[in-house]
Amino acid sequence: MSSTRHPEKLKNKDSTQIKKPEWLRVRVSGSDKFLETKKILKESKIVTVCEEANCPNISECWQKKHATFMIMGDTCTRACAFCNVKTGLPEKLDVFEPYKISQAVKKMNLSHVVITSVDRDDLVDGGADHFVKTISAIRKISPQTTVEILTPDFLRKDNAIDILLTESPDVFNHNLETVPRLYLSIRPGARYFNSLRLLNDIKEKNPDIFTKSGLMLGLGEQKKEVMQVMDDLRAAKVDFLTLGQYLQPTKKHAPVDRYVTPEEFESYKIIAESKGFLMVSSSPLTRSSHHAEEDFKLLKQKRIKKIS
């Protein structure tokens, strides 16, 4: 097997780092369409997770005029070890934000849009009502646009699910992020079974909503643990699973334990499909919102085929 499948470790004064393999190297675009998307988002004063999370797919998505909008500010009340979004005390909600998002959706002529947010533990409903207002604003001005939301876990926000379902999204996504054993170090403010219950309850209350969740690999998880998470998600009737490589944003964040090979990702995909997921996206560069529009169309086709 070639040496690229076993990335070598580079030693420095601070720590032992793992050299990033070739399959994770991406080019930054300067195309007209990329710059046009950047201009629209800047003029609209909208925060995107594409920039805040240093997404490796930003060039590809922005060239297609796709972006994932991040609502409720750029400051999170949690301090997850994998995330590049800043932590602190968030500002008050911008009451005009849903309108701004809807205008950007119209200007970019999006047929499918993904809305995510920071964690807002400071809010009574965790920001559920703000999600609803954003979905409603988009549907008023762009009724043909389908809406996917990628939400926080709404921990201890008992009214959040009922609020969200007053304006049901087409896709409800909440990422488990990692295996339960690693929660204390990687996702200390969250609870694994709370996240599972959130996905389960959404599907139980509205079976027509596509549910979706994802994991980052390369944090130290074991294969048997990943497979158990797959089983847990299927028990919660989750439709769509995404698996991608964890990339360390800065030296202050959790280190990469290892780079999972493309072959391993393909193997996980085959296993997940055998467990009954309608859709599986599994590759080093897979991210929750990557190819969201194309994947949503495929999800609908597969559901129709399954029913028929």
> Smallest Cα–Cα separation from 242: which of 215, 221, 265, 273?
215
DSSP 8-state class, residue 181: G
pLDDT, one tens digit per residue, over 249-264 is 889 999 999 999 999 9
Taking the domains of the chain in order of start, what are their residue ranges? 27-307
Percent of the chain exceeding pLDDT 90 equals 65
pLDDT average, residue stretch 175-201:
97
Q: If one looks up domain 27-307 in CATH, what number appears?
A: 3.20.20.70
Give the tokens for residue 96.
Answer: 């005009």
Q: How many residues does the chain have?
A: 308
What's the whole-model pTM score?
0.86
**Residue keyed to tokens 């959040």:** 160
- On whether the CB atoms of residues 58 and 50 are closer than 8 A, the answer is yes
Give the tokens for residue 152.
Answer: 């926080």
Q: SS in 3 state form for 16-73?
A: EEECCCHHHCCCCCCCHHHHHHHHHHHHHCCCEHHHHCCCCCHHHHHHCCCCEEEECC
- On whether the CB atoms of residues 250 and 217 are closer than 8 A, the answer is no
Exposure b/e, 78-94, CB count within 10 A at least 16 = b: bebbbbbbeeeebeebe
pLDDT, one tens digit per residue, over 257-283 is 999 999 999 999 999 999 999 999 999
> Smallest Cα–Cα separation from 156: which of 203, 115, 189?
189
Exposure b/e, 207-237, CB count within 10 A at least 16 = b: eebbbbbbbbbbbbbeeebbeebbebbeebe
pLDDT, one tens digit per residue, over 27-59 is 665 566 666 666 766 666 676 655 545 555 555
DSSP string, 107-175: HTT-SEEEEEE---TTSTTTTHHHHHHHHHHHHHH-TT-EEEEE----TT-TTHHHHHGGG--SEEE--
